[in-house]
Amino acid sequence: MRTRTLTRTRTGRLAVLAVGLLLLAAGSGCSGDGDGSEDGRITLRFQSLAWQKESVDVNKELVREWNAAHPDVGVEYVQGSWDSVHDQLLTSFEGGGAPDIIHDASDDLADFAHGGYLADLRGLLPDRLTSDIPRRSWETATFGDGVYGVPFLQEPRVLIANAKWLRESGVRVPTPERPWSWKEFRAVTDELSGGDGTYGVAWPLKEPVSATLNLSLSAGGRLFHRGADGKVRIRFEEGDEVVPRTIRDQVNTDGSASGSTLGSAGSDTLPGFFGGRYAMVPLGFSYRQQIVQQAPEGFEWQVLPAPAGAAGLAQGVSPQTLSVAEDSPHKEEAVAFIDFLLRPRNMVRLALGDWMLPTGTEALRDPALRTAEHGWATGAALAGELRPAPAQTVRGYPEWKDKVATPALQEYYSGAIGTGELRRRLVEDGNLVLARYQR
């Protein structure tokens, strides 16, 4: 999932824990006894996961603006990393030195929320903020009866297409109002394939699970179903088959998708895309920044909506979030900073810096996010179709993803196993995993 991966690396847990303990030793007490000075000034630590220069610059500018206007409540900017954030936060929570304000993603919050590490923000958030962000976005950070993060940036998966290739082929170009169906998408990629080492599409599926589940919402697939007893069970139904079967057939039956990219990250496909090997690449919306920076001079590209199914353009997302540590003695001040950071104009600045979409309805109306340049308008038109990712609140999802779903989907997409074996693994093996978390 793009350069900014949200994957929690567990193979290097001991190394991460060791680094985390060193960080705690250097900054212990930052959300405890040592976060104020003798003159009563409060200092909050804000750990940001911004990584692109534009995004880092915007975050630091906003911190400076806050500090200039709030001499009694200062904010210290702390740089974090998407690659290690889960284990780093776990270490800091257990060691009592977590940052006050925590930047993360909603699909990483469940264990921290259930573990009591994050503050329940109900009663702390201002009405302006709660009313500006749609309920469907709040659902991504709601666990049980509590709200444990403020969702503020999100990105749909889109098709990045070679505009000249599409134009010369004569195929119908989809729009958010008239998208391709999954059946039509398969036919188009078959038509665009040249049979000479060129392909209609390249699927970068090094991390296949979130892409498959989130896109499957458009076809009515959910996979995870919560019963009357409150327990989640996996069912692989008709809607869940549409997206994986389309990808498998493109690779193994039609030859319209390159099998060599199935183990690739999104960035790995860009040289081939620029070089004319692939007509389209399904990518996260924020990849547009890399394309702007790396595309050869004169290369024509455009943003297209992902295909639609029985549920239209519905798509699962796991927004970026801002949370407050439960151990922070200054929760109200931390929420006040979050409210400042997410004022509509500031939310627009954050979205532009990260090449993503804001969750706030007022920010989404900003003309800067509605321009045709770089496909901003196409992305903004999809914002109303974004839904909580199917696995959003499922306990045990990380283990199911790593041990069951990832290898099963990788083998399925390569053609090594069929749909029946894929279903058996996802459902039978998967439910055994989930059952351990729901006793």
Q: What is the pTM of this model?
A: 0.88
Other C-beta atoms closer than 10 Å to the C-beta of 50 total 23
Please report whether residue 6 resides in a domain: no
- Residue linked to tokens 């901003």: 376
H-only helix segments in 133-170:
135-138, 163-169
> What is the pLDDT, as a whole number, of residue 20?
45
Among 388, 409, 425, give the residue marking a domain's end. 388
Residues in the chain: 439
Please report whether residue 8 resides in a domain: no
Profile the chain (439 residues) by mean pLDDT over runs of 10 residues.
38 42 41 52 96 94 98 97 92 94 94 94 97 96 94 98 97 97 98 92 96 97 93 96 98 96 96 97 97 96 98 96 97 98 98 97 97 97 94 86 96 97 98 92
- Residue linked to tokens 């303990």: 21
> What is the pLDDT, as a whole number, of residue 16?
41
Same domain? 139 vs 257? no
Same domain? 171 vs 138? no
- Residue linked to tokens 């890399």: 290
Q: What angle do CA 373, 376, 380 make, to 5 degrees?
A: 150
- Strand ranges in 363-403 using DSSP code E only, listed in sequence order: 386-388
Please report whether residue 97 resides in a domain: yes
Q: What angle do CA 278, 217, 87 make, to 5 degrees?
A: 85
> What is the pLDDT, as a whole number, of residue 39?
67
Domain extent, residue 201, equals: 157-305+395-436
- Let me know if 7 is exposed, middle or buried by CB neighbors in 10 A (0-12, 13-18, 19+): middle
- Which CATH number is 382's domain given? 3.40.190.10
Same domain? 179 vs 130? no
- Residue linked to tokens 């692109």: 52
Same domain? 287 vs 417? yes
Q: Show the tokens assigned to 129.
A: 């903020």
261: nearest Cα among 253, 273, 249: 273
3-state secondary structure of 371: coil
Q: Any residues with CB less than 8 A from the CB of 78 and at least 6 apart, and which?
A: 45, 46, 47, 48, 99
Same domain? 337 vs 367? yes
Beta strands 142-143 and 386-388 are unpaired
Same domain? 333 vs 355? yes
* 283, 2 contact by CB (below 8 A): yes
> What is the pLDDT, as a whole number, of residue 13?
41
- Residue linked to tokens 């304000």: 101
End-to-end CA distance of the chain: 32
Same domain? 168 vs 123? no
**Total domains in the fold of the chain:** 2
Q: What is the DSSP letter of 425?
A: I
Q: What angle do CA 124, 142, 387 make, to 5 degrees?
A: 125
d(CA 207, CA 4): 12
DSSP output for 198-219: -BSB----SSHHHHHHHHHGGG
Please report whether residue 5 resides in a domain: no
Please report whether residue 313 resides in a domain: no
* 325, 117 contact by CB (below 8 A): yes
Same domain? 113 vs 149? yes
Please report whether residue 312 resides in a domain: no
d(CA 249, CA 43): 56
Question: Hey, what's the torsion of the CAs at 121, 127, 133, 135, to 10 degrees?
Answer: 70
